[in-house]
Amino acid sequence: MVQPVSREITQRELRNDSGGILRAVEQGSTFVVTRNGSPVAELVPLRRRTFVPAAQVLAMFAHEAPLDADRFFADLDGVVDQGLLGE
């Protein structure tokens, strides 16, 4: 994956055009903020993932012990008030 090139901006530019800069960040731009010519911060878009591939989920749990369904439901019954379910 190619990393976007960061544009350098001063603290003053950020203060004076924060709305425009944040819109650019939302669209994928990155900025390095400088103070007195020295880099002090980086503005980067947040990664918001709405989908996690099944392979990644399986890899996350690959080394976990198998789930004992009977024990799971017994534990669940112990903490959930079944009266709330209207039964």
Calpha distance 64→59 (Å, rounded): 10
Q: What are the b/e assignments for 65-78, b being 16+ CB within 10 Å?
A: eeeeeeeeeeeeee
Nearest CA to 42 out of 18, 16, 15, 6 is that of 6
Question: Model pTM?
Answer: 0.52
Asked whether residue 87 carries a pLDDT value surpassing 60, the answer given is no
d(C-alpha 15, C-alpha 69), whole Å: 56
Q: Assess whether pLDDT exceeds 80 at residue 82.
A: no
**What is the set of domains in the chain, with CATH numbers?**
6-43 (3.40.1620.10), 54-80 (no CATH)
Instruction: Summarize pLDDT for 16-45 with one digit per residue, the tens.
Output: 999 999 999 999 999 999 999 999 999 999
